[in-house]
Amino acid sequence: GFSLKERAANKGLIYGAAARQIDLSSNASYAAAIVQNCNMLVPEWEFKWIAGNARLRPSPEQFDFTAADWMANFAATHGQLLRGHTLVWHDSLPEWFKTSVNSRNAAQLLEKHIQTVVKRYAGKIHSWDVVNEAIKIEDGRSDGWRITPWLELLGPNYLDLAFHLTAATDPEALLVYNDFGLDYDTPEQEAKRTAVLKLLERLRTNGTPIHALGIQAHLSPAENKFNPSKLRKFLQDVASMGLKIMITEMDVADKKLPKDIQIRDRIIAGVYEDYLSTALDERAVIAVITWGLSDRYTYVSESQPRSDRAPVRPLPLDAQMQRKLAWNAIARAFDNA
């Protein structure tokens, strides 16, 4: 039957997945599945400053584009849109960052990073996650902003600076603010949604070029706090600011679900379907991206392993690249969009 990318495209939508060079280059059936299902590719490591075995920024002076270029070429070869993830993040910064960056050189370093990286791929990037995960309510600031190296070095205008630099370097790319923990009907996530809306409003008021919100959607059904009307309202609030929305990193952690695979897969598929049928009701939502495609390669296996040590099953394909109920659920959500 039709693949996910075809079903998405039929509705004017995008379906994509995050992947890493290390896996695409070593497993032909995985690479084939990524090509068959995805019309968008997100480098999971390669565009970060440093992550896994990918080292875009080996030193303050150097850029190593080997891995990032490989991913960009993979996407181009297979006619896939490419996402840039990510320019400004508190995580995945190199060791040298701590010792070499201070409040006198930080703006210049950020400028050089954005100008060099964004320029290299200008015209080839569908969307850039310009800033990733800037809100953390638990950090205790009244605006809910996460206390990151960037905030401490540059102050609250670091977001505006990053968006302006990116827009000036690649006027074609959709510029995205990306964050997680926006999905559930809990006081914590309600506070985070409010803080994100305020952050977006602030950027709009400042005339800062931002075009979309990225909602990561790392879901965990055990919490069972999904409330469609809360999500719908949030999406409407974002859309009413004139912003597009992308579901950027979807997966479903099965840490606390029963071990039985049929039961587990049915619950996971239901989570995908409930979430996506609500999300795709909102016309501002333009893309659904899962954080991986196959259970063989998923950060959930490291970040949220099961206590019974059974392999996790958070993604649309199983470890042998076979479609699971989650795949059917995503397909149906596109068909019904």
Which residues are designated catalytic?
A: 133, 249
**Residue in 5, 7, 48, 264 binding ligand G3I, rule: CB under 6 A:** 48
Sign, Cα dihedral of 102, 108, 111, 116: negative
- Name every residue whose Cβ is closer than 8 Å to that of residue 334 and which is 6 or more positions away in sequence: 4, 7, 8, 10, 11, 13, 15, 280, 288
At closest approach, how far in Å is the CB of 134 from ligand G3I? 12
Asked if 169 interacts with ligand G3I (CB under 6 A), we say: no
If one asks whether residue 21 binds ligand G3I (CB under 6 A), the answer comes out as no
Q: Is position 26 an interface residue for ligand G3I (rule: CB under 6 A)? A: no
Q: Is 313 helix (H, G, I), strand (E, B) or coil?
A: coil
Q: Does 216 bind ligand G3I (CB under 6 A)?
A: yes
Does residue 251 interact with ligand G3I by CB under 6 A? Answer: no
Between residues 45 and 334, which has the closer beta carbon with respect to ligand G3I? 45
Pairing of β 40-43 and β 14-19: parallel
**CA distances (Å), origin 256, targets 10, 27, 109, 253, 326:** 35, 30, 43, 8, 17
Q: Which is nearer to ligand G3I, 3 or 189 (CB)?
A: 189
Contact between residue 154 and residue 161 where contact means Cβ atoms under 8 Å apart: yes
* Shortest Å, Cβ 307 to ligand G3I: 19
Nearer to ligand G3I, 249 or 254 (CB): 249
Composition of the chain by helix, strand, coil, percent to 5 = 40, 15, 40
Q: Does 196 bind ligand G3I (CB under 6 A)?
A: no
Contacts with ligand G3I, 90-129, as mask; x by CB under 6 A: -xx-------------------------------------
Tell me the window of 24-32, 44-52, 57-65, 305-313 that interacts with ligand G3I (CB under 6 A): 44-52
Which listed range, 30-38, 45-53, 103-111, 233-241, lies at the site for ligand G3I (CB under 6 A)?
45-53
Token output for 335: 């068909």
Q: Which residue has the tokens 């016309």?
A: 283
**CA-only gyration radius of the chain, Å:** 19
Q: Are 173 and 127 within 8 A, CB to CB?
A: yes
Binding residues for ligand G3I restricted to 274-303, rule: CB under 6 A: 299, 302
Distances from the Cα of 137 to the Cαs of 68, 89, 123, 199, in angstroms? 33, 16, 36, 13
Element (H, E) at 9: helix 4-10
Q: Which residue is nearest to ligand G3I (CB)?
A: 299
Contact between 139 and ligand G3I per CB under 6 A: no
Region of 48-56, 58-66, 112-120, 270-278 interacting with ligand G3I (CB under 6 A): 48-56
Number of other CB atoms surrounding residue 198 within 10 Å: 14
Nearer to ligand G3I, 176 or 325 (CB): 176
Asked if 305 touches ligand G3I (CB under 6 A), the answer is no
Helices (H), 58-105: 66-77, 95-100
Nearer CB in complex with ligand G3I: 132/166: 132
Strand partners, 247: 215, 288
User: By C-beta, is 135 or 325 nearer to ligand G3I?
Assistant: 135
The yes or no reply on residue 315 touching ligand G3I (CB under 6 A) is no
Assess contact for 28 and 54: CB atoms under 8 A: no
Instruction: Work out whether 183 is an interface residue with ligand G3I (CB under 6 A).
Output: no
**92 or 277, CB closer to ligand G3I?**
92
- Shortest gap between Cβ of 48 and ligand G3I (angstroms)? 5
Applying CB under 6 A, which residues contact ligand G3I?
A: 44, 48, 51-52, 91-92, 132, 180, 216, 249, 299, 302
